[in-house]
Amino acid sequence: MNTNHQEIRVNTQYLSAEKVAEIIQKRGLANCIAGVAANIQEDFLRWNDFDKCARVASHSDVGVIELMPIADAKNYAFKYVNGHPSNYRFNLPTVMAFGVLADVETGVPELVSELTLTTAIRTAAMSAVAARALARDNCRIMALIGNGAQSEFQALAFHHLLGVDTFHLFDIDEAATDKLEANLQQMGLKTRRFASTQEAVKGVDIITTVTADKTNATIITPDMIEPGMHINGVGGDCPGKTELHADVLRKGPVFCEFEPQSRIEGDMQQMPADFPVTELWTVLSGQVQGRTSQDQVTIFDSVGFALEDFSALRFMRDVALEMGLSETISLIPYLPNPKNLFGFIGAHAAKTDKTTISRVSISMAA
């Protein structure tokens, strides 16, 4: 970066929800999921390069607002994200997010981006990355328990990255299943809907849970588990919110993203402090074996971690620049003298006055 402040005008790249939707439409959702998954794999393989911490959460009676920071030697990133299960009453998503990617050397925010759509992509990509490392080969049938906003992304990730071709669907909200079934069938995917979780998970290779209610639920119980299953627990992502009965976690090895965070937010919060878990990066790097037999049950207790957002922000930034779809915003004032912040106010006022005078002159001439 040029360090001559006289020559630098900071224009922060900006990706709106509309621009990200355009990127997804033009690049293809499957390609976007695959691209984010590749970034996640790459970043997890350099796990120790990152300054990591659990997210900072502010809980209320109706939801949670969180900040998720992470950094390496070059870039700092954070995501602002909420979780409000009752937002449907206001025609708002349960999860909404935006994020920033900044330059560590200067602190300049290089990218401000929506992360609501992007979070759905990165969550699905993370699930697929974990399943490729932990599930049996040739998985073809997955149960999707919870058919809300995340469910289509999960289905596409597992279809395109693992070859799953049939999806068993269940949600207590039949309208959500109607929506998911219609969307998946439109994309040519096979679906079967069921009247209960118990029925939906019979005979499947993978169970994915993506429910929204912030309760200590037991959506998956030990009697539902069959030899060789991979369980992808996505919905348990904050203190007091679970999806798996504690005994399900005892059915096989449990894997997570960042143990200090997962211990307090994931289904693992039900377990004692000495309950053994394995961070996924150690499997991806070959330091630890994942699945050890075809009949083994594996559990990925996913809560979402800031490194995944870092990976997704990098992907969206690079693709937007490549496709010429990036916009810029003036987020940082341009200062000819960086020690004279006060002077920017006067300079901006003078510029505004000149613009106003110019407009008045044009109006009078007309």
Provide the residue-wise pLDDT of the chain in tens; the chain has 366 residues: 444 444 556 789 999 999 999 999 999 999 999 999 999 999 999 999 999 999 999 999 998 999 999 999 999 999 999 989 899 899 998 889 999 999 999 999 999 999 999 999 999 999 999 999 999 999 999 999 999 999 999 999 999 999 999 999 999 999 999 999 999 999 999 999 999 999 999 999 999 999 977 678 899 999 999 999 999 999 877 888 899 999 999 999 999 999 999 999 999 999 999 999 999 999 999 999 999 999 999 999 999 999 999 999 999 999 999 999 989 999 998 888 889 999 988 877 666 555 444 444 444 455
Residues of the chain with CATH 3.30.1780.10: 12-117+309-329
Alpha-carbon dihedral 92, 319, 129, 268, rounded to 10 degrees: -40
Query: Any residues with CB less than 8 A from the CB of 42 and at least 6 apart, and which?
Result: 311
**Residue 83, H or E segment:** strand 75-83
Rounded Cα distance between 170 and 147, Å, is 7
Give whole-number Cα distances, 87 to 95, 118, 122, 262, 325, in Å. 9, 19, 22, 25, 31
Alpha-carbon dihedral 98, 104, 107, 109, rounded to 10 degrees: -30
Q: How many residues does the chain have?
A: 366
Rounded Cα distance between 92 and 89, Å, is 7
Task: Please give the structure tokens belonging to residue 338.
Answer: 């960086």
User: Given 205, 237, 301, 309, which residue is catalytic?
Assistant: 237
User: Which homologous superfamily does the CATH classification assign to the domain defined by 136-303?
Assistant: NAD(P)-binding Rossmann-like Domain (3.40.50.720)
Rounded Cα distance between 223 and 232, Å, is 17
Rounded Cα distance between 315 and 308, Å, is 11
Residues of the chain with CATH 3.40.50.720: 136-303
Spatial CA neighbour of 79 closest among 322, 316, 333: 316
Task: Please give the structure tokens belonging to residue 329.
Answer: 């915003």
Our answer to whether residue 237 is catalytic in this structure is yes
Rounded Cα distance between 320 and 23, Å, is 7
Q: Which CATH architecture has domain 12-117+309-329?
A: 2-Layer Sandwich (3.30)
Task: Please give the structure tokens belonging to residue 126.
Answer: 């993370």
Rounded Cα distance between 228 and 133, Å, is 14
Residue 338: per-residue pLDDT: 87
How many CB atoms neighbour CB 35 within 10 A?
Answer: 21
278 with 231: CB under 8 angstroms?
no
